[in-house]
A = this chain, B = another copy of it.
Amino acid sequence: MPVNSFDNYPMSWKPDKKALKRPFYYSIASLLEQDIINGFLAPGTKLPPQRELADFLDLNFTTITRAYKLCEFKGLIYAVTGSGTFVAPNAARSITISTDKITDCIDLGFVASFEQTNGIVAEIIQKVADKRYLEKLLNYNDPTGIPHQKTAGLNWMDSFGIHVDQEHIAIVSGAQNALAIALTALFEPGNRIATDLYTYSNFIELAKMLNIQLVPIPSDQFGMLPNELEKQCCQTKIHGIFLMPSCCNPTTVMISDFRKHELAMVIRKHHLILIEDDIHAFLTAGMISDYQQPMFNLLPEQSVYICGTSKSICSGLRVAYMVYGDALRKNILQSIFNVNVKTSSLDAEVITELILSGRAHEIVSQKKQLAQSANDIYTEYFPVSKPVGHPLSFYRWLSIQEHHDAVQLETDLKMRGIRVFHSDRFLSGQTTPNKYLRIALSSTNSLDELKMGLEILKQYLG
């Protein structure tokens, strides 16, 4: 038995050899998990290399590989060949963003959707309640949507550039629900999905829950970098890619049309499944001159296009349209049955009526006006020399220099009466030197309240 003295060796983590029970790999993973969750190992900490730790514990290094893998699966750590293994930025906490339990706080965190327009929806609900065929909406029939509801959806997406038949669209219960369906339908645990380095935190949490690994890809002002995507695809098996082309959450970046074509080429070459979350299409198509079409049209056979109505029409009625290529159809329908059985035809009917009556467009133009005002107010408080990202975005991405402790910063601001989210929440992988805040503009009860919130923020950041 080799006798080593590693006491002087600089290992960031030394599990208690005596605490190990068989199976070793499992025992090591548990100890590591504990130490991360208890905060003994801070995010970013480099763990001992597999071979070092193996020597220290008198084990084969692949046993450490196995233990590390278990923790990586849970999103606690991430590994880079050649560099080492590190504690993940959001290892010890859930980064899910929801409206649960916010009290006495101006909310610049959660991105709502200017709920002032819901009066119109209430009117339409009354209209739907008086329909002769109301009773027909209350059974198990048409699990993917009643034909006329699907037609209305296609109608709605027509100006975005989506044109498919009834067999390739389904109504589901909101965009997040669509993401859950897409991931469970089309991916296996352990699969890898490429995403922007900063991406939608509820997508990160969903992937974590389903044990799907995210591979962060760098971007520039036109969107994800195709050569970086290409590099990752060659390096390791990537199964899919998640993009929000019309307005990335949280960075507000819009993918340029030329960039869409470049990315599509890489995606096609490597047979990735594209999940295109186009929840902001209503703010972009017909508004931004560079907008030509969704990426779905470039890759119809290997894409899922998701168009939620929560941001554009009404957040409380959980309705989204899912559009997919024929090759993906069977699996997606299966997952819809498994996860939802169906989406309430009543909710879908209200959205349908809103679209067909033209009131949905009325809501959209009101929301756009509100977004314009909110963005104007934001620019007063935080002027920028050169505007970046979507001009009507419901949130902004504010670069901050200091205040590097993400959790502390969020807590400080909450104590001052506002809720905002630090960029670390949106990290799909490694930590980065640049730090930001995402400032939601669409969740306060009024524009005055928004001003108050921004004032507090500006004073705090000094």
A residues bordering B, Cβ < 8 Å? 94, 96, 98-100, 110, 112-113, 115, 118-119, 121-122, 125-126, 128-130, 134-135, 137-144, 173-174, 176-177, 180, 184-185, 188-189, 202, 205-206, 209-211, 310, 314-318, 333-335, 337-347, 350
Contact = CB atoms under 8 A, between A and B. Distances in A.
The 10 closest A-B pairs by CB, nearest first: A138-B316, A129-B129, A189-B189, A118-B138, A206-B338, A126-B129, A115-B139, A122-B134, A180-B339, A176-B341
A96 B334 contact: yes
Contacts of A344: 173, 316-318, 344, 347
Among A94, A119, A210, A346, which residue has the most Cβ atoms of chain B within 10 A? Answer: A346
A209 B338 contact: yes
A185 B210 CA distance: 9
Contacts of A138: 115, 118, 121-122, 314-317
Contacts of A316: 137-140, 342, 344-346
A184 B94 CA distance: 15
A27 to B, nearest CB: 15
A110 B342 CA distance: 14
B341 A98 contact: yes
Contact of A139 (B141, B174, B177, B315): B315
Contacts of A315: 138-140
B112 A135 contact: no
Contact of A334 (B119, B205, B342): B205
A182 to B, nearest CB: 12
Among A126, A144, A338, which residue has the most Cβ atoms of chain B within 10 A? Answer: A338
Contacts of A125: 129, 134, 346
Given A209-B335, A345-B316, A135 B110 contact: no
Contacts of A130: 126
A317 B138 CA distance: 6
A242 to B, nearest CB: 14
A210 B184 contact: yes
Nearest to A205: B338
Contacts of A100: 143-144, 333, 337
A110 B140 contact: yes
Contacts of A314: 138
Contact of A339 (B128, B176, B347, B350): B176
Given A173-B173, A345-B316, A346-B316, A143 B340 contact: no
Contact of A211 (B96, B189, B339, B343): B189
A45 to B, nearest CB: 25
Contacts of A340: 173-174, 176-177, 318
Nearest to A318: B344
A314 B206 CA distance: 30
A173 B334 CA distance: 17
Contacts of A337: 96, 98, 100, 176, 202, 205
B112 A140 contact: yes
A111 to B, nearest CB: 9
